[in-house]
């Protein structure tokens, strides 16, 4: 099969759970804190994706949330959406020999915590977006009415869930809350440099 035929097939742009587990994705030290912090900041509803960038000490450096468009699950489209959000909130790390920061993705959806083809497309998109932005690919987490689940690791919990009220940000070190990048001349320069 030719490369163009492979890249045109949406089913090839997804990762199976075994492929994800074999990819050496770094484990989160405290996934509940990461999930609860993102849940409190972004208050996701079903079909909301939150991409977050963590520093080596697992502190949040930037995050963005957006709603998934009603289109077939396609890793390429997900990759482009994630990359656009990453470019909006944090400069790339492409000049580094090895990535220092890690991107994680939390996706709030209907259904249970079992893996779906849509999850596989998000995993493919996250891995590719991280490569193109110079980040380590981190955990993929689903948030449903049953709770949260770090796919490929088997770790999860009941709270927060898609239906639960967010906890107060003070319990997650609100003093360290990252101010969003709002644009300006520096962002335009970074955007042009990243496009080269």
Model pLDDT, residue 113:
85
User: Distance between CA atoms of 130 and 190, rounded to whole angstroms?
Assistant: 17
pLDDT tens-place string over residues 53-110: 999 999 999 999 999 888 788 999 999 999 999 999 999 989 888 999 999 999 999 9
Model pLDDT, residue 167:
81
Q: Is 195 helix (H, G, I), strand (E, B) or coil?
A: helix
Q: Which domain holds residue 181?
A: 3-195
Model pLDDT, residue 75:
94
Read off the CATH number of the domain in which 20 is found. 3.40.140.10
Number of folded domains in the chain? 1
Whole-number percent of the chain with pLDDT over 90: 64
Is-cis flag, bond preceding 193, omega within 30?
no
Whether 171 shows a pLDDT value over 90: the answer reads: no
Whole-number percent of the chain with pLDDT over 70: 80
Whether 8 shows a pLDDT value over 60: the answer reads: no
pLDDT tens-place string over residues 25-57: 999 999 999 999 999 999 999 999 999 999 999
**Cβ-contact 73, 121 below 8 angstroms:** yes
């Amino acid at each position: 099969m030719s490369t163009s035929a492979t890249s045109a097939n949406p089913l090839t742009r997804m990762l199976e759970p075994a492929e994800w587990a074999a990819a050496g994705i770094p484990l989160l030290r405290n996934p509940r804190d990461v999930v609860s912090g993102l849940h409190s900041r972004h208050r996701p509803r079903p079909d909301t994706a939150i991409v977050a960038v963590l520093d080596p000490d697992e502190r949040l450096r930037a995050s963005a949330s957006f709603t998934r468009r009603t289109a077939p699950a396609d890793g390429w489209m997900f990759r482009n959406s994630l990359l656009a959000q990453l470019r909006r909130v944090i400069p790339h790390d492409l000049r580094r020999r090895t990535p220092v920061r890690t991107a994680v993705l939390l996706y709030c959806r209907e259904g249970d915590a079992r893996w779906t083809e849509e999850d596989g497309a998000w995993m493919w998109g996250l891995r590719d977006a991280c490569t193109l932005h110079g980040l380590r690919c981190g955990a993929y987490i689903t948030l449903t009415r049953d709770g949260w689940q770090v796919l490929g690791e088997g770790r999860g919990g009941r709270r927060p869930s898609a239906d639960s009220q967010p906890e107060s940000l003070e319990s997650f070190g609100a003093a360290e809350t990252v101010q969003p990048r709002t644009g300006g001349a520096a962002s335009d320069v970074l955007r042009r440099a990243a496009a080269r």
